[in-house]
Amino acid sequence: MNEKPKIYEEKVIKPKSGWVMLGVIIALYIIFIAGIAFCATGIENFENTPSGTFFGILMFIFIMLPLVSLILIKGFKLLNPNEAIVLTLFGKYYGTINQEGFYYVNPFCSVVLPNGETLGLENNLQVPPLPAKTSKMFQNFGRKKISLKAMTLVNGKQKVNDLEGNPIEIGVVVIWKVINTAKALFNVDNYIDFVSTQSDSAIRQVARCYPYDISDEGDEKSLRGSSQEISEELKKELQKRVEIAGIEIMEARISHLAYAPEIAAAMLQRQQAKAIIDARQKIVEGAVSMVEMALNKLSENNIVELDDERKAQMVSNLMVVLCGNKDAQPIVNSGSIY
């Protein structure tokens, strides 16, 4: 029977201040120096006496003080604003520190690196190399700390199909931040790559539900004309996908939108034809209203009486003049119109 993977929740701990422990370690080094000096002056007097055994034990303790101090030093943690570290103790999740300050924790705790590895006593001074697939932005975080700042993910242009099946190029800009460090490190392998991958998937899901441009009826949303609604839909879709990684999507917007190169020329002609038709329609509507106004004015003011044939000829001439692409060349009739 397959078991579901454990979903980790963040456990925030409030460790002790590091200044007190710093004073203790300094005191240990002072005791070590004083003890070595004391042993050096009295070693000749005590080495052949019954108390020499006690003296040897005392000297051994003084020698072990620096080694103990080196182990205790591993417990110091320094955090800047909007940073956090995740700790494990012998393979188990110990807790998260997300408040800036100078702290001291159990020196046997290991710091979990943002790429899923741990940094403990055995390799605290040697940082393992980053995987090749890790993005450049990840390299700026700090190897042992998780950034809680708002971060920007700019996904490259990708080719998808819209609702009508047209291939389009689309790119998104996502503003996000980590709100649950335990989920970010333990529930997914690499939360930055996870956000990037889910962004690609979410934009494909949203893009195929809407056409590139609005239809002739104008009663539906489109990728180009409904940017605010599409952004909200994209944000909701992406938030559902990254919930398991403890990520909050603050904003998701389309940064690039265009037809794919193979159909861009055809779609440009289509847009130009539609623009020409719309412009001609406006011209014809205006010309008809102007002709109607001219006939009404002539009739109301009794300027001239025209029969139906002459009215039709006048309408034809005015429509040619008003709807033509070029300026009309008038012909002056010096004789009778009949």
Q: What does the pLDDT look like over 234-248, one tens digit per residue? A: 999 999 999 999 999
pLDDT, position 125: 33
In a domain, 173, yes or no: yes
Residues 55 and 114 both lie in one domain? yes
| Contact in structure between 11 and 96 (CB atoms under 8 Å) | yes
| pLDDT for 176 beyond 90 | yes
Residue with tokens 């998780």: 146
CA–centroid distance for 119 within its chain: 27
pLDDT, position 128: 43
Summarize the confidence of residues 23-46 as an average pLDDT: 70
**Domain boundaries, position 289:** 264-323
| Contact in structure between 23 and 31 (CB atoms under 8 Å) | no
Residues 197 and 247 both lie in one domain? yes
| pLDDT for 159 beyond 70 | yes
Q: What is the pLDDT of residues 220-234, one digit of tens each?
A: 677 877 778 888 989
CB-based contacts of 117, cutoff 8 Å, min separation 6: 128
In a domain, 332, yes or no: no
The DSSP letter of residue 94 is E
In a domain, 329, yes or no: no
Domain count along the chain: 3
Q: What is the pLDDT of residues 248-288, one digit of tens each?
A: 999 998 888 887 777 656 666 666 667 777 777 787 777 78
Does 3 or 144 have the greater pLDDT score? 144
Tokens matching residue 115? 């790429």
Q: In CATH, what number is assigned to the domain containing residue 214?
A: 3.30.479.30
**What average pLDDT does the chain have?**
75
> pLDDT band at residue 31, thresholds of 50, 70 and 90?
confident
Please name every residue paired with 118 in a beta bridge, in sequence order, or none if there are none. 112
The model's pTM: 0.64
Q: How many CB atoms lie within 10 A of CB 244?
A: 17
In sequence order, what DSSP letters do the residues of 241-270 get, joined into one string? HHGGGTEEEEEEEEEEEEE-HHHHHHHHHH
CB burial of residue 64 (10 Å; 0-12, 13-18, 19+): exposed
pLDDT, position 44: 53
